[in-house]
Chains A and B, each alone.
Chain A
Amino acid sequence: MAKPLGFEKPLGMRDILPDSLAKQRHLERALRECIERWGYEEISTPSLEYYDTVGAASATLTDRMFRLLDKQGHTVVLRPDMTAPIARVVSSLYKTVPLPLRLFYQANVFRAQEKEAGRNAEFFQTGIELIGDASVDADAEAIALAVFCLQAAGVETFRIAIGHVDFVDGLLEEWIEDEPVRNQFRQFLVERDFVGFRHLLSTLELEPEAKERLESLLRLRGGKSKIEEARALTKNGKARRAVETIASLWEALEAYGVTDDLLLDFNLIINLNYYTGVVFEGYAADLGSPLLGGGRYDHLLAQFGRPAHATGFAIKMDRLLMVTPAAESPPAVRVLLCYTEDRRTEALAEAQLLRADGLVVVTWLVNNPAEAQDIQGASYSKVICLTKQEE
Chain B
Amino acid sequence: MGFSDLSQKLTIAMPKGRIFEEAVHFLQQAGLQVTAELQDSRKLVIPVENARLEFILAKPTDVPTYVEYGVADVGVVGKDVLLEEERDVYELLDLQIGYCRMMVAGMPDWKPTEAPRVATKYPKIASRYFREQGQQVEVIKLNGSVELAPMIGLADRIVDIVSTGRTLKENGLVELEHICEITTRLIANRASYRMKSEAVDDIASKFLEVIPRKA
Contacts and interface: CB of A to CB of B under 8 A. Distances in A.
Interface of A: 157-159, 161, 192-196, 198-199, 219, 221-223, 260-261, 263, 265, 281, 283-290
B185 A195 contact: yes
A157 B191 contact: no
A263 B197 contact: yes
B197 A157 contact: no
Interface string B61-76: 0000000111100000
B134 interface: no
B186 to A, nearest CB: 9
Given A194-B91, A196-B91, A283-B191, A221 B197 contact: yes
B1 A193 contact: no
Given A195-B185, A222-B3, A260-B2, A284 B91 contact: no
10 contacts: A199-B94, A219-B201, A223-B3, A263-B194, A265-B194, A281-B194, A283-B195, A284-B195, A289-B68, A289-B190
Interface of B: 1-3, 68-71, 88-94, 185, 189-192, 194-195, 197, 201
Contacts of B185: 195
Nearest to B4: A223
A194 B90 contact: yes
B197 A222 contact: yes
Contact of B190 (A193, A199, A283): A283
Contacts of B201: 219
A288 B71 contact: yes
A81 B183 CA distance: 38
A223 B201 CA distance: 14
Nearest to A287: B191
Chain B interface helix/strand/loop/mixed: mixed
B191 A288 contact: yes
Nearest to A197: B91
A286 to B, nearest CB: 7
B92 A290 contact: no
Contact of A287 (B70, B89, B91, B197): B70
A194 B92 contact: yes
Contacts of B3: 222-223, 263
A339 B89 CA distance: 61
Given A219-B201, A283-B191, 13 more contacts: A159-B195, A192-B88, A192-B89, A194-B91, A260-B2, A263-B3, A263-B197, A265-B194, A283-B194, A284-B195, A288-B191, A289-B70, A289-B88
Nearest to A156: B1
Contacts of B70: 286-289
Given A261-B1, A288-B68, A288-B70, A195 B195 contact: no
Nearest to A161: B194
Contact of A198 (B2, B88, B94): B94
Nearest to B92: A194
